[in-house]
Amino acid sequence: MQLSMEELDGGITKVILDGRLDIAGAQEIDLKLNVIAGTKKAVLVDMQKVTFLGSMGLRTLVAPAQAIKGRGGKVVLFGPNEMVENVLRSSKMHTLIPIHHELQSALAALR
Amino acid sequence: MSDQNANSGCEPLTLESELSEIARIPPWIERLAALNAVPERTRFAMDLCLEEAVSNVIRHGYAGEPNHALTVRCEMHRDGFITLVVEDDALPFNPLLVREPPVPASLSDVSVGGQGIHLMKQFADAVEYERKPAGNRLILRFFYPGTSPGLPTVPPS
């Protein structure tokens, strides 16, 4: 699992995930996401290249989102594929971390 | 099993009781899916359910202890379903008796524990548990339309 970052206008940080968010993938990005969660306030998690999401991957997404929201920030998920989105919806995570498929609406939700 | 069953073309997968062993599941599923023309959605569901089932056995059944084994095998059924069977020698543990996680009202309410079993029940079309004389057997069934072209066909009468 690869993680890269891009700073966008308006103080928004785009976090691009690429690969499988399984147990191994979750371990690979846990620390990086926690650092982001401790410093950023508006985070767009680009899920377009995430090919798998399991329960450990969910945990890896939820903990930083909790931290960011706890500091008054916002997190949105952008562009998960159908099956990854099914995992997010089955676990009700979409009610807590909004999912967007249009970049403009994802950015607007963070402003 | 009945003559409705056929070999998936994949050897059973034997795993050690270490989380790093879970990395061996996706390529096994990939091969299984390719050999039997399994649709992508079903492949994803099998991958997800196996990761959750196997990590459950390693973390809870074997309590993280190394040097235990578990096996995963697959049966293809001619009427269009696939069965994955996970067997271990761990203490009795029926994941179907684990309570569903509550629907979270806020992020701080999220209980990620229990999500794995919940996802398994959601993504498999049926989940059955059997107690073995020494160990556990979890049976995951996945239905998909059509019969795999990799399976033997009934000869014309």
Residue in chain B nearest A69 by alpha carbon: B107
Report the SS3 class of residue B98.
coil
Mutate to test the interface with B, among A20, A23, A94 (most CBs of B within 10 A): A23
- The count of residues in chain A is 111
Tell me what percent of the residues of chain B surpass a pLDDT of 70.
80
Residue ranges covered by each domain of chain B: 5-98+111-143
CA angle A21, A61, A50 (to 5 degrees): 35
Q: What is the ipTM of this complex?
A: 0.93
| Structure confidence at residue B73 (pLDDT) | 96
B43 Cα to chain A: minimum distance (Å): 10
CB A16 within 8 A of CB A46: yes
B2 Cα to chain A: minimum distance (Å): 33
Supply the DSSP symbol for B150. T
Report the SS3 class of residue B15.
strand
Instruction: Look at residues B94, B99, B101 and name the one whose alpha carbon lies nearest to residue B56.
Output: B94
pLDDT band at residue A83 using 50, 70 and 90 as cut-offs: very high
Cross-chain residue pair B51–A65, CB shorter than 8 Å: no
Whether A58 contacts chain B with CB within 8 A: yes
- DSSP secondary structure string, B108-139? GG---TTHHHHHHHHHSSEEEEEEETTEEEEE
Q: Which residue has the tokens 């990761």?
A: B51
Supply the DSSP symbol for B68. -
Whether A59 contacts chain B with CB within 8 A: yes
| Structure confidence at residue B4 (pLDDT) | 46
Tell me what percent of the residues of chain A surpass a pLDDT of 70.
100
Residue ranges covered by each domain of chain A: 2-110
Reply yes or no on whether the pLDDT at B32 is more than 50: yes
Q: Is CATH 3.40.50.300 the classification given to domain A2-110?
A: no
CB B6 within 8 A of CB B76: yes
Tally Cβ neighbours within 10 Å of residue A100: 19
Reply yes or no on whether the pLDDT at A29 is more than 50: yes
Name the fold adopted by B5-98+111-143: Heat Shock Protein 90 (3.30.565)
- The radius of gyration of chain B's CA atoms, rounded to the nearest angstrom, is 17
Cross-chain residue pair B112–A93, CB shorter than 8 Å: no
